[in-house]
Each structure stands twice: as C-alpha cells, then as structure tokens.
Structure 1
Amino acid sequence: MDWTLEVVVVPVSDVDRAMDFYANGLGFKVDVDQVVTEGVRIVQLTPPGSRCSIALEQGLPVAPGQQAMRPGSLTGIQMCVTDIDAARAELLERGVDVSPVQHVGAKGWEDGPGDVWNSFMFFADPDGNGWTVQQAPAPLPER
C-alpha cells in the first residue's frame, strides 16, 4: 500500500490574507476555495511542481483526539528547489521577506551556500508559520 503526503494544514488567522500571500507571494496555484457550509471554508493551494498541497481552513471542527493549532504555530515545513538563488530572487521580486541563503557549518547556520543538499533559506507567512526552502539536486532523467 502506498502512503502519500498530499495535504498539510497551515493554521492561519485570516484565510483571505493567507491565500493572497501563498498565491501571489509564493506563486502557489489555488485549487479549491469553497465555503462548505456557513462559517466553514476550505482553501487548498499547491506549489508549482508539487503533488502536496496546503490547506487553509476556517471553522472546521478539530478531529477527535486532536488539539487545534494556533495560527503561526507551524514550523519546519520544507520545500525543495533545484536553484535556490533563482528561487530566492523570485520570492524577493514577489515581495516575500526571505532570508539570505545559508548552510549548516561547524558553528551552526552560516552565510552562503553549502555543498549538495546544504543550501537553505527561510521565510514566514503573515501569521508567522515558518518555512524552509532547501536546494536539492535535479532528479536524474528516467531511462
């Protein structure tokens, strides 16, 4: 049986503001913007080239046995790109406040790119949900 990660719920305080950030700031495609019933709305967006989407929800009840996440409490969400400098330039052009490219070195986070798999940048959405972007090598073509 395949288990695929398809949707990550991102807790936000203002769905419209968050949708604008993810669609216009990051270039995510709006897949769904639906009012399910009065007071319940789901917005689903997908990063270019990804199968995994994010969901911005308003008014949905919390699943049994779980606790609601506070807006801005999600950290460590990570996306990968094959050209981190180009990705950073695109985010800056779209008005996203993104960190310089950094890598993990002997003293922790250090400025500049590192070796393969060791170049990162960071940003947060308007609620403070933290994102990491990592440079990954381009996949090899299938034979």
Structure 2
Amino acid sequence: MDMKLELVMVPVTDVDRAKEFYERVGFVVDHDQTVSDDVRFVQLTPPGSACSIAIGRGLTRMEPGSLDNLQMVVADADATHADLVARGIEVSDVDELAWGRFVFFADPDGNGWSLQQLPDWSAGASGVE
C-alpha cells in the first residue's frame, strides 16, 4: 500500500505576508480560495516537489511559528543559498555536516526550514543527483 505525503499545514499569523514570502522563496501558488470569513486556503508547492504546503485561516490549531525544521532536499546547497540571498531571503551560511550540507531559513512567523544537499554516498536516494 502506497502512502504519499502531499500537504503540510504551516501555521501563520498573516496569510498575505506569508504568501508573499513563500512566493519569493520560489514556491508556486496552486490555490488561493476564501471559503468564508473564517476559512482561507492557500496551497503553495516548492519547485520540483510532489508535496505542497497550505497556509491560511481556519486550517489548523497549531500556533504560528510552531513548525521547526521542515526539510527539503536540494541538488546544490551553494547555488540554493546564492539564489535565496538574491531573492532577499535571510538564510544561514552553508552548514557542512557528515550527513549533508544544509542551508536554514525561517518564514516571517518563525516556522523553520532546512534545505539539505545529500552527501555523495546517498546521492540519488531521493531522486536528486
């Protein structure tokens, strides 16, 4: 039986501010639907990903900024770092660890992200080479 993670709720305080931030990071807006005064659903997908995030109103009981270390895999940490800096995103320096090279950033609410370049010994494990 296959199980595919396709959507992760990211709790934010200001939907428009978060939407603009994630668009600057490079996420594509798939949907932006206001269902009612209490519910707005915005789905964004990172380039190349089969999994999306959702931000909005009335979607989750999690506190804004409570997600820590959502992780995506990238082909090249240095190139990703340079691209995000050019887009005006505040990111960490590239962190060299035995299990990969990482770049970290947070959205305006403090939800934390890590971008991992896989080490050579695991290249291809996730389709990134």
TM-score calculated relative to the size of structure 1: 0.80
How many residue pairs match? The answer is: 123
Runs of at least 4 residues off by over 2 Å: 136-141
Aligned identity (percent) is 57
Aligned partners of 1:140 and 1:133: how far apart in 2? 12
Aligned to 2:75: 82
Structure having the higher Rg: 1
Does 2:109 align with 1:127?
yes
Structure-1 residue corresponding to 2:3: 3
Counterpart CA distance in 2 for 1:124 and 1:18 is 11
Residue 140 of structure 1: how far off its partner (Å): 7.7
Structure 2: runs of 5+ lacking an equivalent: none
After superposition, give the CA deviation of every residue in 1:87-108 in whole Å (9 maximum; x if it has no partner): 000000000100001123xxxx
Corresponding residue for residue 16 of structure 1: 16
Q: TM-score, normalised by structure 2?
A: 0.89
Q: Which runs of 5+ in 1 are unaligned?
A: 63-67, 105-113
Counterpart-to-counterpart distance in 2, 1:13 and 1:58:
9
